Each structure stands twice: as structure tokens, then as C-alpha cells.
Chains A and B, each alone.
Chain A
């Protein structure tokens, strides 16, 4: 069975003046895969991701996301992807239900569908008691999970997670990764940036960016073999030190 490619990137480049923040990167991501996008701060992860989600124009190269070209069909891409930022951005002054309704609304979901989704989502997250509480009053871990669920509300083909576990405790991180597995299992492709190397082990494949280039791309197991390292942390350090 040939696996479906949902992200195809070839020679994608972003320059700011003379500086190439992203320097001709190429990779493919398959449907249902958890793809880890690793790199030190400033390596170009976020810039690369912004080009893929259609809020930054590439300088050159090619990229297709969910079957659409980033240069010509950014609007179609936006309908087919979900996005969760490192700030778990929800509206603190809206309640849990209002947040779900709002984000469902901007993705064009019908009223009935939103109602259905909200009930399912609140039940799944165990937020029944807090559905009418302001999001600002929720603990960070709950906000993070809610934010992830909201990113999936329109059943996107691909969900982009930008450092989704920053600042939350290990138990919540573990629970969060279970949610990611579940989404991937249901066929959603997960594109996740992180700098927690233990999380890299959870991914099906990881790419490691150094100074705007992808220096390694394979499954965690293969990478550890290739670099003769005990864990992903060592792989990363070996690469980053050159």
C-alpha cells in the first residue's frame, strides 16, 4: 500500500535580506504520521512552520500542504489544517463553551455540529463542571488540552502544534501525548515542533533543523543508530555541535 503524502516540501527557503532563516529544506509527511520537527531556538522551525500554515510567504522553493500549493492556495490550506500555538491561545474572558462555539464558528461549522462537538469535547476532557467557567480560571494543563481539542474541532487533515507542551508538568504532558496518539490513530496527521527530546521519542519520524537546514530526518530508532547515541538528546547534541 502506497502511503499518502499530505505535506510535500522541496527546496523551501525563506530569506530575510541576506540571512536565510530557512535554507532549502525538503521533506515529506505521510497521512496519519506524527512528525516531529526539532531544532534549537532560532534554528528556523517556527519560520518553516509559518510558511506551511500560510501566514508567511516563502522566498523560493515548493510546498504542498493537504494537497494545496502554499503559494497559490493558502486559503484552501487554512480550511484543512488545525493549529495550536505555544501560548495555548484561547480567550481567557470567554467560557469554555463560548471558546468552542467561537472557533467552531470561524471554521464555518453549523450550529448543530458545534453543539454536538462541544458536548463530546467537554465530556471527553472531563470539563462538565467547568463548561461555563471562564477559560482564564482553568489550570494550564486543561487549557492546553482544550486548545488542542479546539484545533481539531473542524476535523482537519493535518494539525500543526508549535511547542505544545511548554510549561506543563510531566503527567499532563504524558496525557497530552495520549491525545496526540489518539488523533493520529484516527487519521489526523500531526506536525509537532518541540525541544523536549524525550517527546521526540514519541514521534514516528523526526527531522532536526540546524541553522535553517534539515540535518537529519528519520525515525528516532534509526537516528539513534545512525549517530550511535543512547537517546534523542545525544543525537541532538551531536548534531547541534556539528
Chain B
């Protein structure tokens, strides 16, 4: 035990004396969570739009007023003729233009029908789509208020409710993802680098010739990173609760246990990577390409898995991060207990055991 403590002390010296690893450990998680939380967002807020109002009557004025009153849009300018539309899009100043037809209010009264054209800049298709939907919603609401006193014979009124994230805040989606990435990065990359560093420097050989057992060496190398990853997880959760008002509906204890499980699986992957790489550079490249990219692209963090082609959907199943994201979204946003996420937990546990077994085996082969 005393040997083990000495070993861990040495490991902390390594970490705290290396600015680069300190930055990866503590600077990056905070930078990432703030970056994802503030800068990268797919919410619609104050989108600049332009208005082409050929009627300028009471109804169009009211609609325009309603649109500019919503927090989603801000009216950047009014244009006078249709030929201006293209120019204004090309300048890229606005994302959408609302084009009211001539005699809008007159048509509405006379024909019970008036047209408004929503032109969106679809270079960013998701945003364009959302803008169109939001404008539609505002128009529907207005239309409904016009018909309030009227009895319509048949009417289907869709009433949608967004549960678990009623304000559709994208930070709710990013926090679990960022947490997953950071835990993966810190645990897998840092351990694989620190183990290969010992190999590169030749100290691994000295350790193996010493009375320390290989398993003690590995546990000693990995232990500090378990500890630091847990601190990181706490920092991320605290930041998201206090800065982004991210709710944690479920049990914090369960969240902690699941996080530790994921950390251990990532550490096992890190050990596995260190057994196949001879240099720190290789370990870093394998960690980045082999772990980070799949985590970002295939875990459902940014791109929904259900809209991927089937082969990619199948591949996503072997990515531990996918299951962890489902688990922590469940706990944080839906407040579910283990009874709803036991299947995912079991999968993650199975993967962890598999990675540990594989890395122990690989490690032994290398020694023989």
C-alpha cells in the first residue's frame, strides 16, 4: 500500500509539472463547456429579417408588429420592391424576408384569403426551416385570434408541447455531450499518453523489473486520472447548473455512479491504446482519431442517430459514448432512475469489462 501511495504521488508530480497536461485536464473542459454553451447554439434568437410590405394597411402592420415583438426576430430593414430581394440576400444581412402581397387586408376581407411569402436563406437549411416554422406559428396564432368569434365547422387544432426541454435550449443537449467528450478525452487520451511516456523514456522497463506487479503499475498510472476525471465531471455539472441553468432532475448519486462507470471504460480504452502504441504521438493520434471523432460524430451528441444511414446506426452501437449520453440525458433532463436506464448501463458495463479484459490480455502478450 505504501508503495502504491508513493507511486500515485509521483504520478501527480508528473501531471502538475507538465503545463500541457494541466491545460488539457482543466483548461480545456472549462473552455469547451463555455464555448459549447454560449457560442455554439442552434437556437433561433433575434434573427435579422427584412419586410417587403406592398399593402401597408392595418392588418400587415399588426402582423409586422407581432413578429417584431417576438424575441426570435428583429426587423433589420424594410424594402420597397421585389427586385431588391436578391440583392439583400446576397449581402447576407438578413436570413429571411417576409413579402406581403398587394391589398393584403382587402383580399383578406373580400376573398377570405391573403398571401404572405416567406423567403429564407437556405444556405443554412436547419435555421431556414426553423425560421419558416416560427413565422408560421406566429401567423397561425394571429389567424386564430381573427377567427375567435367565428364558429368553424370542422377544425383540427394541433397543440404541441416540448417536454423535458420546453424552451428548446440547445445547451441542454450540449452539456451531456461535452461532458462525454471531456471524460473520454481526459481519461483515455491522458492515460494512454502517460503510459506510453514511461515506455518511451524507458522507465516502464525499470518498473517492470521492480517488485511492483504489472497490475499495480497500471492501476497506479490510472488512479490519478480517475480522481481528476471525477473532479472534471463535478466541475462540468456545477458549471452547467449555475451558468446554464441546466436542471438535474434525477439523482446526483446515480449520475455520479454512471459517470464513474464511463470514466473506467474510457480508462480501459486508454490502457488498450497504450499497449498498441510505442510513442506518445501515436497514442495521441489514435486517441484523437479513434475515439474523439466517433464520439463527436456517431454518439448522437450533435447529429441524431436516427437520421444516419443504417450502417452508421449499427456502428454507433459499439460506441460507449452513445450509451452514456442516453444515460445522462435521462438522468439530467427526464429525471429517470435506474429502472429506465438499466439496459444502457448494462451495455456500458459489459463494454468496460470487455475493454479491461482485452487490455490485460494485450499487456500480458507484450510482456511474454
Contacts and interface: CB of A to CB of B under 8 A. Distances in A.
A14 B213 CA distance: 23
Interface in B196-243: 201-203, 205-213
Interface residues of A, number: 29
Given A105-B6, A106-B3, A89 B211 contact: no
Interface residues of B, number: 24
Contacts of A107: 210-211
A106 B201 contact: no
A131 to B, nearest CB: 16
A53 B206 CA distance: 10
Contacts of B13: 91, 93-94, 98
Q: Is the interface of A mostly helix, strand, loop or mixed?
A: loop
B245 interface: no
B203 A83 contact: no
Contacts of B17: 93
Interface in A57-115: 57, 75, 78-79, 81, 83, 85-94, 98, 101-103, 105-108
29 contacts: A55-B208, A56-B368, A78-B209, A79-B211, A83-B209, A85-B202, A85-B205, A86-B202, A88-B202, A89-B201, A89-B206, A90-B203, A91-B10, A93-B13, A94-B13, A98-B10, A98-B13, A101-B6, A102-B6, A102-B10, A103-B206, A103-B210, A105-B6, A105-B7, A106-B3, A106-B212, A107-B211, A108-B3, A108-B211
A91 B14 contact: yes
B80 interface: no
Contact of A87 (B3, B201, B207): B201
A53 B207 CA distance: 12
A238 B191 CA distance: 49
B84 interface: no
Interface of A: 53-57, 75, 78-79, 81, 83, 85-94, 98, 101-103, 105-108, 160
Nearest to B203: A89
Contacts of B9: 102
Contacts of A85: 202, 205-206
Contacts of A54: 209
Contacts of B201: 87, 89, 91-92
B205 A94 contact: no
B18 A93 contact: yes
Highest count of chain B CB atoms <10 Å: which of A56, A101, A105 = A105
A221 B212 CA distance: 40
Contacts of A103: 206, 210
A15 B17 CA distance: 42
Contacts of A91: 10, 13-14, 201, 203
Contacts of A86: 202
B367 interface: yes
Contacts of B202: 85-89
B2 interface: yes
